[in-house]
Chain A
Amino acid sequence: MHDAAPILDVAGISKRFGGLQASNNITMQVPAGKITSLIGPNGAGKTTLFALITGFHTPDAGEVRFKGEVITGLAPQEIAERGMIRTFQIVQPFAGQSVRENIAVGAHLKIRSRAAALEKAEDVARKVGLGDRLDMDAAALTVAGRKRLEVARALATDPDLILFDEVLAGLNPSEIRDVIPVIRAIRDQGVTILLIEHVMQAVMSLSEHTWVLNQGELIAEGSPQDVTRDPHVIEAYLGKGMAERMARQAGAATGGAHE
């Protein structure tokens, strides 16, 4: 896990909004070239953590390093220029502009020429399965289409690290099956991916390492398989009573086998 230098190094990040401790002393190292994920119940502070990492909020304490460089306190656009891109849980298309134009905004991060950026946009659109909707108004896309658009815009910037905020939420199972290979293909191009995801099927099949956030604190990390068996994690999702009952049942089952 920690063999190579991490691409993203979050050290002791905290953020308080009034009486709410949204992030409390969070430390995590995201390894380069892999798909990792961040899970946790609703309101755990996952999106806030993304916002803290990408400059949309400034942390009260702690430090974020990206590719070895401290980026705490930089503006979102400066962080994007350095190669870390986030997507939004609530999709944010440039309504009134075509799919092609939407993606080209991302492509322009590294490409000055309009023609080249539009060409790149077309290329990326095909990769994420939007090739047939290039001239459509982005506002007219379905939810699944808009999620793909978020992915495409981020990808068009040629990033080193993408933070995907629930790109699969709101999709039906067959759409999820379609998007999962798209995410894998992005990783295979050498882009590191950190996912916030509620769709456990995706977390289990895609990510190699998972952090679990609850009430602003990291409560567990490890492989998705281990993490989902962790009693703290079960408790965070299902409550204390359910966690104990499950532990008893598991104990009874294994105990029975031994006797």
Chain B
Amino acid sequence: MRQLALLGLVFAALFTVPFVVESESWRTTIIMTLYAALLGQAWNILGGYGGQFSFGHAAFFGTGAYTVAVLQVQFGINPWLGLVAGGALAVGVAAFIGFTTFRYGLRGSYFALVTLAFAEVLRILSNTVPFTGAGVGILIPLDPGAASLQFTSKAGFYWLLWAITLAAFLTAWWIGHSRFGARLMAVRDNEDAARALGVDPFRVKMRAIMLSGLFSGLAGVFYAQFFLYLDPGIAYGPAVSVESLLVPIVGGMGTLFGPLLGAVALHAVSEVTREVIGDLPGISLVIYGTILVIMVLFAPRGLSGLVSRLTARMRRTAEGDRHA
């Protein structure tokens, strides 16, 4: 309950950002940070709580993004419907990937490689079929207005993202406080022991990958509407997959606030490097890689693990002082 209260507090504060923050560049930074937290939380549902490390979350992201774009451009369908369709189709892709991999008990690096392969297949497909615009990409015509899911101000986009992200975080909270979540974490920690206690790992993992795919897909829809341009590399390329997993690994896998901490930390780092080094191409990936190595070596439980370790130590010293 304390966690839920904290979550409410954080999101209430985030809700007020458009009223408080005036600067356009700051607003963009905050939007991109929240967007990274959404991608990270989506991955965290399957990877952090479920222990299934996907390297191909772009498959869900890109499907959501392309769905809303293609439906608008080719069929003239309202993007609000596209939002629903994008989420649903991403869930479909997640169900398909989940079924083909979990049915045959693929785990660990095998699962990671197969998800990566699926994302790559989709990237190549979207590069060849005509209705996605192939290699040229797809441009969503500018049509500002809430009805066409293109807001005239950044605030509108921000609140849309805020709502989706809130839903993702509430889902993660629910996972930490429900039978489904208990079973998911049991499967992560010891699949055989979980089975012996009546847990069906296949069903549990399927639900997790579909929830995960849903939020990745919705992040894709947001991306498409915000930037109004997609190409196969943006939608299905490895950059999104890497960002999705890096955020919770840095912030703390399998924790509610990990993705938020990770997103803030990574964006802070990338802003600083841009100030210091300038826009050197590829430099952010070099920095991300270095951070990943450092985190895995020294803080495998991420920033939130560090935080809880520090608070535990502070509490102990405080108690020590009292005893002294």
- Is B57 in the interface zone, CB < 8 Å from A? no
4 pairs of A and B residues whose beta carbons are closest in the complex: A80-B198, A92-B193, A94-B189, A109-B198
Known contacts A92-B192, A95-B189: A105-B177 contact under CB 8 Å: no
- What residues make up the interface of B, taking CB atoms closer than 8 Å to A? 177-179, 182-183, 185-186, 189-190, 192-201
Q: Is A81's CB under 8 angstroms from B198's CB?
A: yes
Complex contacts, A113 vs chain B, CB 8 Å: 179
Residues of B within 8 A of A76 (CB): 192, 195-196
Known: A94-B185, A94-B186, A114-B178. A105 touches B196 (CB 8 A): no
Q: Report yes or no: B189 in contact with A97, Cβ–Cβ below 8 A.
A: yes
Indicate if the CB atoms of B197 and A85 lie closer than 8 Å.
Answer: yes
B193 touches A157 (CB 8 A): no
B177 proximity list for chain A (CB < 8 A): 114
Within 8 A of B (CB), among A128-176: 153-154, 157
Looking across the interface, which residue of chain B has its beta carbon closest to that of A82? B198
Least CB separation from B190: chain A residue: A92
CB-CB < 8 A to B199: which residues of A? 77, 105
A80: chain B residues at CB < 8 Å are: 195-198
State the Cβ distance, A218 to closest chain B Cβ, in Å.
Answer: 24
Contact assessment for B189 and A112 in the assembled complex, using a CB-CB cutoff below 8 Å: no
Contact, CB under 8 Å: B179 / A114? yes
Complex Cα spacing A105 to B182, Å: 6
Q: Is A125 an interface residue (CB 8 A)?
A: no
A75 is an interface residue with CB less than 8 A from chain B: yes
Min CB distance, B51 to chain A, in Å? 11
How close is A258's CB to chain B, nearest CB, in angstroms?
54
Contacts A94-B190, A97-B189; A153 near B197 (Cβ below 8 A): yes
Q: How far is the CA of A54 from the CA of B199 in the complex (A)?
A: 14
How close is A109's CB to chain B, nearest CB, in angstroms? 4
Cβ-defined contact, A96 with B189, below 8 A: yes
Q: How many A-B residue pairs have CB under 8 A?
A: 77
Cβ-defined contact, B182 with A114, below 8 A: yes
Q: How far is the CB of B195 from chain A (nearest CB, A)?
A: 4
**Interface membership of A108, Cβ < 8 A:** yes
**Set of chain B residues within 8 Å of A92, measured between Cβ atoms:** 190, 192-193, 196
| CB-defined contacts of B183 to chain A, threshold 8 Å | 105, 108
Q: Could you write out 22 A-B pairs with CB less than 8 Å apart?
A: A56-B192, A56-B195, A56-B196, A76-B195, A76-B196, A77-B198, A77-B201, A80-B195, A80-B196, A80-B197, A88-B193, A94-B185, A94-B193, A97-B186, A105-B186, A105-B197, A108-B179, A108-B183, A109-B197, A113-B179, A114-B178, A154-B196
Q: Is A216 an interface residue, CB under 8 A from the partner?
A: no
Asked if A93 is an interface residue, CB under 8 A from chain B, the answer is yes
With the chains together, A87 CA to B194 CA distance in Å? 11
In Å, the complex CA distance between A153 and B186 comes to: 12
The one of B185, B192, B197, B200 that contacts A106, using a Cβ cutoff of 8 Å: B197
Contacts A92-B190, A114-B177 given; indicate if A75 touches B195 (C-beta within 8 A). yes
Taking a contact as CB atoms under 8 Å apart, the answer to whether A157 and B189 are in contact is: no
Residue of B nearest to A76 (CB): B195
Interchain CB contact under 8 A, A157 and B198: yes
Query: Which of chain B's residues have a CB closer than 8 A to the CB of A117?
Result: 179, 182
Chain A minimum-CB-distance residue to B197: A106
A104 in the interface, Cβ–Cβ < 8 Å?
yes
Closest chain B residue, CB of each to CB of A101: B182
A106 to B189, CA, bound (A): 14
- CB neighbours (8 Å) of B190 from chain A are 92-95
Chain B contacts for A106, CB-based, 8 A:
197-198
